[in-house]
Amino acid sequence: MTTSRRTFIHLALATGTAGAGISLPASAKALSPAEAQKIAEDAYIYGYSLITTEVTRVQGSNVPKQDSMKAPTGQFGNVERYPPADFRLVSAPNADTLYSVAWLDLSEPQVFSHPAMGDRFYLFEVVDLWMSDSTASPSKRTADGKAANYLFTGPGWKGKVPAGMNHFPSATRYMVILGRTYANGTDADYKTVNALQAQYKITPLSAWGKPYTPVTPAVNPNPGFSMTDSPQKVILDMGTEGYFSLMAKLMGGDAPPAKADGPILARMAKLGIVPGKPFEMSKLDPAVQAALKDLPQTALKKIEGNAKSLGSVVNGWVVSKGLGSYGPHDYLKRATVAALGWPANQEKDAVYPYTEVDSKGEKLTGTNKYTVTFPKGQMPPVNGFWSITMYEIDKGWWFVPNALNKFTVSPRNDLKQNADGSTTLYFQNDSPGVDKEANWLPAPKGEFIPMMRMYWPKDNGPSIINGMWKPPAVVKVA
C-alpha cells in the first residue's frame, strides 16, 4: 500500500490554513455559484472512495458477531459456500472462490496470519480507506503458498518489524483484507477450504506470541446512517453538508490526505471544506447554498457516466484493466470504481470481461441460442484459473436458477473439445444435449450477461493485459 499519506500538517503547508478556530475563508464569499459548484463537485468526486469505504467498513464491522462477510473489527467473517440461486445481497456474486473479510483498526499494529495454502489459488486483497494502490497484496501471485505472517501498521508508525514478517504500512487507520480462496464447489472441497478459513487470524502486535482471544468492540447503536441500505443510497442520504462533514472528519484524523492532493485541498479550503473542521452550509452565500443543493445527485451522475472510460470493447466484451491503480490525481476513475465495483482487483490479480451483446451487436437473450468457441491452444491465458458466470438482469446481476444448479462454466467441468481441438461453450436456456452439458452455461429466458473471470492473468506472450489475447465473440446460432 502507498506510504505517501502523512498527518494533516501537509494541508497547512498547502493551504495556509493551519491553526485552530478556522472560519469560512473570505475567498468563499467571493466565489460565484458556478465556481463554488465546480469546486464542490471536484471535492465530492475526490472523497467518494473514502466515504464509500468508510460506510462499507461500518456496515461490515459494527456487528456483535461473525456472520458471513460481516464480523467485528479484528475478526474474519467467512463465507462457507457459494451463494444460492436466490442470493441478492451483493450484485454479480461469484461461484469460484469463498470470501473471507476482516476490517482492521491500526491504532495498534495488527498481524494477519494464514496457514500453508499449497497450490490452491488465494488472494488477500488489501484496501485502505482511500482505496490506495496495493499491487503486492498477499496472494498465490506474490507469495509461495507457505504459511505466512503479515504486519499491518497505521500512519506514522515507527516501530520494529519482527523477524519473518512481511510489512504492509497503511495510509489510513482503518483497512480491510478481502480474501478469496478457490473452491471447486464439492462438499469435500468446501470442507477443506473452510478448514483453511478457520486459520485466518488477526492478532495485535502486542499479543503476538502469546495466548490471544479476540475482543469484540461494543456495537454502536447509532452509527449515523443505515446499516442495511446500499452504500450508494447511504451516501446520497447524507446530503451535501453531511457528506463533506464526514469527509473532513476522516481527513483530519483516520485518513490523512496524500501529499499529492495539495492542489485540490487548497481549492476545497476556499469553500470551507477543511480536514478536521465541520462543513457548514449555512455560512455560505444563499446563492451558493442553492447551487450545492443537488450536488450529491449531479456528482454521482458524473461518476457513473464515467464508467465507459474504464474499459474498451473487444469482440463485444467490455474489458476493463488498471482498475486497482490510480494516478496521483485520477480521482474520477477512483470514484467510479468505488461507486460501481468497490474496491476492484489489481489487473495483475484479476480481469473480468463481460458482454451484453452478440457478434452482431444485438442484446443477448434466452429466447436465442449462442456459442463461444475458443480455437485450439487459445483458451483464456491465466496462471490462476478462469471461468464464465451467467447473470440475469433484474435490478442487478444475479445467478440464473437452473436444474443443474450450475452458475459457471470452466475447465473444472471437464470441458469437451471439438474434433479440431477447439472448445465450444453453449449459452442457452434449454439443454444443448446431455453430451454437451459439460460445456453448457444455462441462461435465463430474458436478457443476460456472461462475465469471464480471469484470475492471475498471464502478462507475457498472448495476454488479455497486453491485448494480444482477445475473448471470442458470442455468436447467435441460426
The string of pLDDT tens digits covering residues 249-273 is 999 999 999 999 999 999 999 999 9
Residue that terminates a domain, selected from 305, 340, 371: 305
Looking at the structure, do residues 319 and 406 belong to the same domain, yes or no?
yes
The string of pLDDT tens digits covering residues 213-253 is 999 999 999 999 999 999 999 999 999 999 999 999 999 99
The string of pLDDT tens digits covering residues 296-342 is 999 999 999 999 899 999 999 999 998 888 888 899 999 999 999 89
Q: Is residue 377 part of a domain?
A: yes
Q: Is residue 210 part of a domain?
A: no
Looking at the structure, do residues 372 and 270 belong to the same domain, yes or no?
no
Looking at the structure, do residues 169 and 111 belong to the same domain, yes or no?
yes
Task: Determine the average pLDDT of the residues in 337-355.
Answer: 94
The string of pLDDT tens digits covering residues 174-186 is 999 999 999 999 9
Q: Is residue 80 part of a domain?
A: yes
Q: Is residue 414 part of a domain?
A: yes
Looking at the structure, do residues 294 and 371 belong to the same domain, yes or no?
no
Q: How far apart are CA 318 and CA 136, in angstroms?
A: 26
Residue that terminates a domain, selected from 178, 205, 232: 205
Looking at the structure, do residues 296 and 315 belong to the same domain, yes or no?
no
Task: Determine the average pLDDT of the residues in 50-55.
Answer: 97
Looking at the structure, do residues 250 and 274 belong to the same domain, yes or no?
yes
Query: Picking from 4-18, 26-40, 54-68, which range would have the lowest pLDDT averaged per residue?
Result: 4-18
Q: Is residue 329 part of a domain?
A: yes
Looking at the structure, do residues 194 and 266 belong to the same domain, yes or no?
no
pLDDT computed for residue 16 by the predictor: 34
Residue that terminates a domain, selected from 259, 286, 305: 305
Q: Which structural domain range is residue 228 located in?
A: 9-56+223-305
Q: How far apart are CA 61 and CA 235, in angstroms?
A: 18
pLDDT: which is higher, 100 or 6: 100
CATH number for position 182: 2.60.40.1610
Number of independent structural domains in the chain: 3
Looking at the structure, do residues 177 and 45 belong to the same domain, yes or no?
no
